[in-house]
Structure 1
Amino acid sequence: MSSPSVVVLDYGSGNLRSAVRAVERAGADVTLTSDLDAAMEADGLLVPGVGAYAACMEGLRAIRGERVIARRLSGGRPVLGICVGMQILFERGIEHGVETDGCGEWPGVVERIQAPIVPHMGWNTVHVPEGSRLFAGIEDERFYFVHSYAVRDWTLVTNDRTPDAYQPRVIWAEHGGDRFVAAVENGPLSATQFHPEKSGDAGAQLLRNWVGTLGAA
């Protein structure tokens, strides 16, 4: 049986080689590219992101990456966002008083963490709800964060008619007394605020868990 194919989307967001290597170690056949046809056809799409929200959205729109994310999700095809690659999935971000529209896959605002020490940098535990596939076997582990901004209020509303696979599982973390969204699982769309590729064995297991779901539907 061949390995699942994953495209790491290259839209000018920093050094992506560590993400590529980490997903390769998780058992995928990985391509780093900005080619949208390849991004559509892959079993999984990983959207990385470092730096400023506005700059990431500018780079993403320059290659029409927001369209391929939306098209994949409308067809139930898996997408994983990491760090700012998670943040841009929300409706908008506010940095230094500048408001930028995001991809709008989830409602919510990315804003500065309200903590005495920012950025939040280092290892932290997360609070995982029952039934998580992404965090299976690593619910009590710590993950590596580097960020000053996050989603501090989850606002997506679902009801009992929403299939269980599409009921969002929201993973929370705390820093300096402020709670924020650390990760989300929502049908084909998953995302982490932390860096799994920098999170040692726990991050490696999370990526294996994700790669293990590709093509399983």
Structure 2
Amino acid sequence: MIAIIDYGMGNLRSVQKGLEKVGYEAYITSDPEEVLKAKGVILPGVGAFADAMDNLRKSNLIDAIYQVIEQGKPFLGICLGYQLMFEESEEGGCHRGLGIFPGKVRRLPAGFKVPHMGWNQLTIRQKNALLEGVPSQSEFYFVHSYYVEPADDSLIIATAGYGFDFCAIAGRDRLVGAQFHPEKSSDLGLKILENFGKQVEKC
């Protein structure tokens, strides 16, 4: 079973429905024990970085997230959930993230329309099981005003362009985050959720 973490910020039901559409059961939970019982975990999210971290702390979910990752279970961060996986964000000041990966979350450069909203192409930089059956230059749906700048280029799985190239998918093996919304990205977005489900099945 897949746990979708509810920390009061996010489009949770649409992620759950996307997984159900490709044949995988998922439950929405804010209970750390329920998160730990899952075979795979998704951290979604929409909103402000600092508020999200505060909500995760108040819900005692941070230790559960670290334990899931230490156990090697498939883990997927989506949009804000992806940004939270990094060390810090400059949104509204300087705020510490989960620090799962080294790197910072930065505001889109001045002169660019924010938020970056709509369909954009992915350029796949390296293979990952999450992208099996997804061609490079496929389009996915983005809504964001900040982007991730990994400190380690080896973490960059795919990029997208918005006047400059930014990291759209980062991670390694079964620990991955995506800036776009797969649950809103039509058939190829559902393919990514299906690939995540397949990883969970293998655990």
TM-score (norm 1): 0.87
2:113 counterpart of 1:126: no
* 1:103-122 pair list within 5 angstroms: 103-114=98-109, 116-122=112-118
Compute the displacement of 1:133 (Å).
1.3
* 1:79-118 pair list within 5 angstroms: 79-96=75-92, 98-114=93-109, 116-118=112-114
Q: Which residue does 1:150 correspond to in 2?
A: 147
C-alpha RMSD over aligned residues: 1.6
Contact 1:111 1:150 in 2 (8 A): yes
Distance 1:15 1:134 in 2: 21
2:157 counterpart of 1:170: yes
**Alignment equivalent of 1:72, drawn from 60, 65, 68:** 68
Distance 1:181 1:194 in 2: 11
Q: Deviations over 1:83-136 (max 9, x none)?
A: 00000000001113x111000000111010115222110000111124221111
Question: Taking every aligned residue pair, what percent have the same amino acid on both sides?
Answer: 37
Compute the displacement of 1:27 (Å).
2.0
Structure 2 gaps of 5+ residues are none
Which secondary structure state, in structure 2, belongs to the residue aligned with residue 23 of structure 1? helix
The structure whose residues are more often helix, as a share, is 2
Q: Which runs of 4+ in 1 moved over 6 A?
A: none
Q: Which residue does 1:6 correspond to in 2?
A: 2
Compute the displacement of 1:172 (Å).
0.9
Distance 1:156 1:66 in 2: 23
Contact 1:182 1:192 in 2 (8 A): yes
Structure 1 gaps of 5+ residues are 158-166
